Structure 1
Amino acid sequence: MITLSLIGIGTGNPKHLTLEAVDAIRAQDLILIPQKGVGKDDLAGLRQEICAQVLEGAVEVPKIVGFDLPVRDPKTADYRQRVDDWHDAIAEVWSAAIAAHLPEGGRVGFLVWGDPSLYDSTMRIAERLARVREITLRVIPGITSIQALTAAHGVPLNTIGAPVQITTGRRLRDEGWPEGCDTLVVMLDGECSFQSVAAPDKVTIHWSAYAGMANEINIAGTLSEVQEQILTTRAAARADHGWLMDIYLLHRTP
């Protein structure tokens, strides 16, 4: 029997860990850490650092093993199929790693960036793993990038009594601003889709890169006035670090 714990670790700041997450990390027999390749070692390194801090002085220390994360096949035209195939491949890698390092069963943990429930597919991959071996799933929530974003800018997520929609850059770019909501949180936007927003002089943006981390970058203002600054800053940050995670809040004035 495998007990699989998906542990939300916040956005890279070790101080974001909840007490429940700390206890969960200490309770594992095996912790698997994804390695995303050259230029993205910071992500694996931060997970390693979190483990080192949490496990310092522990009597029993879990085995910590890195694994190479499969890459999505860019040749598959259909986006959903491309993601499904990728998740299948990751589940196979998980299964092989668990079999190799925990053959008699036990407790295995994954440190999930942010929160396992929000634009993260770790639970979907766990479902695939459950099809081929018996597991008990445990999910420990974590601080989200949305919380880190609003805290960094010192702004509330919503206006009084009004809804907020969480969406992706792809949907904002392809479908435009959704009706019935004047406040959007945009995640997973590699194309800077805020450039497609109509009437940018009536939209306020709060943008953060590496939210919650030591190298956090924040820019806010009227979209028409700051979007070029965001584009330039974003490109420079990606060049410096080899990777970038960003998120932004848009509010439209009717």
Structure 2
Amino acid sequence: MKTILLIGIGSGNPEQITVQAVNALNRADVFFILDKGYANDDLLRLRRDICERYIEGDAYRLIQVEDPQREENPQSYGAGIETWHQQRAVLFERLISDEMTEGQVAAFLIWGDPSLYDSTLRILQRVLERGTEVFDYQVIPGITSVQALAAQHRIGLNRIGEPIQITTGRRMAQQQPDEINNVVVMLDAHCRFESLANSDLHIYWGAYLGTPDEILISGPLKEVSAEIKRVREAARREKGWIMDTYLLRRPY
């Protein structure tokens, strides 16, 4: 049977790779690498560097393909995601069919962890449901940007007797300010924290976590909100892309 490995490779630091991930890398015959079309794609480069650093020998293959672009659906966010996932499922099915033979092992190198804010796992399940390809799959966990953010700011994510929420910028913007006490926000392309700048919240923000280009800013949101937006926009213009995460926390 064919086997697919979903290998979490951390948030940007090659030394975040676990021993389990290194062993998994050395099991794979072929790696499927999705090109998102960035002109300066450090994410592609990091994946290649990880293979060269940790894989013994050079018998493996790297298959780089263009990742379908997600198009915004003005009528329905969910419909846009559904279309994108369907396109990806067709692509993954073709890769498994054309680039693998029976008994081979293929791997996707997943930024962060395959189980947190990544669609590869559910898309592979969709491929299986289509019934054309039969394969086994395994998940190798990785260090997430959430963990890296807390470590770099030297803070604990949880507080005594208090839950931690992980959400998106779009969802966070739908909450009332007094509902936000301890919230990690991912995928906030529109700096929605600005709408809370008059609150007493503190923010711990990080971009390019784990990479040489890492940027960290923290402090009372009312004092650093404008700085974060300015730094974020400048970094995105310079590199052509940005990945950032932040924690909003109300002081005791």
**CA distance 1:39–1:176, change in 2 (3 Å):** farther
Counterpart of 1:174 in 2: which secondary structure? coil
Native 8 Å contact 2:197 2:221 kept in 1: no
Q: CA deviation at 1:75?
A: 4.3
Partner of 1:77: 75
Partner of 2:116: 118
**CA distance 1:177–1:21, change in 2 (3 Å):** farther
Counterpart of 2:173 in 1: which secondary structure? helix
Q: CA deviation at 1:177?
A: 4.1
Find the partner of 1:107 among 90, 105, 108. Answer: 105
* Distance of 2:97 and 2:6 partners within structure 1: 18
1:53 matches 2:36: no
Q: Which runs of 5+ in 2 are unaligned?
A: none
Counterpart of 2:42 in 1: which secondary structure? helix
1:216 matches 2:214: yes
Q: CA deviation at 1:76?
A: 5.5
Length, aligned pairs only: 250
**CA distance 1:52–1:244, change in 2 (3 Å):** same
Find the partner of 1:237 among 235, 238, 250. Answer: 235
Partner of 2:176: 176
Q: Output one character per residue of 1:81-121: Cα deviation in whole Å (capped at 9) or x when no partner.
A: 11111011111111212222214451110000001111111
Q: Which runs of 5+ in 1 are unaligned?
A: none
* Distance of 1:170 and 1:51 partners within structure 2: 35
* Distance of 2:6 and 2:239 partners within structure 1: 27
TM-score, normalisation: structure 1: 0.93
Q: Output one character per residue of 1:179-209: Cα deviation in whole Å (capped at 9) or x when no partner.
A: 3x61110011101111122642x11100000
* Distance of 2:95 and 2:40 partners within structure 1: 21
Q: CA deviation at 1:253?
A: 3.2
Identity rate of aligned residues, in percent? 43
Range that drifts further, 37-46 or 242-251: 37-46
Q: CA deviation at 1:6?
A: 0.4
Native 8 Å contact 1:67 1:97 kept in 2: no
Native 8 Å contact 1:26 1:61 kept in 2: no
Q: CA deviation at 1:147?
A: 0.7
1:191 matches 2:190: yes
Partner of 2:63: 65
Native 8 Å contact 2:30 2:62 kept in 1: yes
CA RMSD of aligned residues (A): 1.6
Partner of 1:33: 33
* Distance of 1:178 and 1:62 partners within structure 2: 52
**CA distance 1:146–1:38, change in 2 (3 Å):** closer
Partner of 2:162: 162
Q: Output one character per residue of 1:6-27: Cα deviation in whole Å (capped at 9) or x when no partner.
A: 0000012110000000100110
Native 8 Å contact 2:97 2:133 kept in 1: no
* Distance of 2:39 and 2:75 partners within structure 1: 26
* Distance of 1:250 and 1:169 partners within structure 2: 11
Partner of 2:14: 14
Partner of 2:87: 89
Counterpart of 2:167 in 1: which secondary structure? strand
Q: Report the AA paired with residue 216 of structure 2.
A: N
